[in-house]
């Protein structure tokens, strides 16, 4: 059982980390937003000076800090399927399975080709691609290039002209996909937020903050060497309830 938290206790002086859970309106359970690299309070405050009048003079009597809104910023570094739905305010569609095929069982036709442009083949993870124009074999590196992993083909050379149709045979790996349909606006979701603050000594939260609010992606993954790093802001639309582990 964890100790009571008091000043001087080691748990009270260690760097906190947090877990963030989100339950969209209309749902019955929370999604864990994954590993939190950094987090901070982002409350909007304003300092208001109170004045009083005495004997015709106005003097400062008090200064009060008003909190206009409660908000927290989180830097996350995971992006699984559930988090993609939240990040893009999207709905999850069907799963698509690309079955494995051994060359030359995989086939495709690229119609009305454009030279020096990339055409999607419709499969990824390709192997042993063979291209023909009618019955004429085309030469890879002379008539076309293939990006096998991405499933793209580009045509050029004297054998082909724009508008030709090209037939392909190939093999391909088995790959599964999850399809999402993104929202029409900046990703914003409403629901219940739960922030669990812990440290390295105990997974039992030192402080739990819950509120109904808005979850909004503010920074998206970039080519920074950390593919899954993104940021969200949780803004409370109700008064937060804070439950702190007892100091008594």
Domain ranges of the chain: 10-47+64-92+181-244, 100-173
Dihedral angle of Cα 71, 76, 81, 82, to the nearest 10 degrees: -30
Provide the residue-wise pLDDT of the chain in tens; the chain has 248 residues.
455 666 666 656 666 788 899 988 888 889 888 888 888 888 877 766 666 666 666 665 566 666 678 899 998 887 766 676 666 665 666 788 999 999 999 999 999 999 999 999 999 999 999 999 999 999 999 999 999 999 999 999 889 999 999 999 999 999 998 777 766 555 567 889 999 988 777 778 888 999 999 888 888 776 666 667 888 899 999 889 999 877 54
Whether the predicted model's global pTM rises above the 0.85 cut: no
What sign does the CA torsion over 119, 120, 125, 129 have? negative
Pull the structure tokens for residue 13. 């002086």
Residue 76, H or E segment: strand 71-76
- Give me the CATH code for the 10-47+64-92+181-244 domain, please: 4.10.410
Closest by CA position to 105, among listed 171, 175, 173: 171
CB 100 within 8 A of CB 174: yes
Query: How far, in Å, CA of 98 to CA of 220, rounded?
Result: 28
């Amino acid at each position: 059982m964890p100790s009571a938290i008091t000043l001087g206790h080691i748990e009270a002086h260690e760097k906190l980390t947090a877990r963030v859970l989100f339950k969209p309106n209309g749902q019955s359970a929370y999604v864990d937003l994954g590993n939190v690299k950094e987090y901070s309070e982002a409350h909007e405050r304003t300092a208001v000076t109170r004045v009083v009048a005495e004997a015709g003079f106005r003097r400062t009597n008090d200064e009060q800090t008003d909190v206009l809104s409660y908000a927290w910023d989180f830097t996350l570094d995971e992006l699984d399927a559930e988090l993609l739905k939240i990040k893009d305010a999207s709905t999850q569609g069907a799963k698509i399975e690309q079955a494995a095929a051994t060359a030359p069982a995989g086939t495709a036709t690229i119609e009305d080709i454009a030279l020096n442009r990339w055409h999607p083949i419709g499969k990824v993870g390709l192997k042993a691609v063979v291209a023909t124009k009618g019955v004429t074999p085309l030469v890879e590196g002379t008539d076309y290039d293939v990006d096998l992993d991405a499933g793209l083909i580009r045509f050029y050379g004297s054998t082909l002209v724009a508008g030709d149709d090209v037939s392909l045979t190939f093999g391909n790996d088995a790959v599964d996909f999850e399809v999402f349909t993104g929202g029409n606006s900046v990703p914003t979701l409403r629901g219940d937020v739960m922030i669990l603050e812990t440290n390295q000594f105990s997974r039992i939260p030192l402080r739990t903050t819950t509120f109904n609010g808005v979850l909004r992606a503010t920074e998206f993954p970039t080519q920074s060497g950390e593919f899954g790093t993104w940021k969200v802001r949780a803004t409370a639309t109700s008064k937060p309830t804070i439950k702190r582990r007892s100091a008594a």
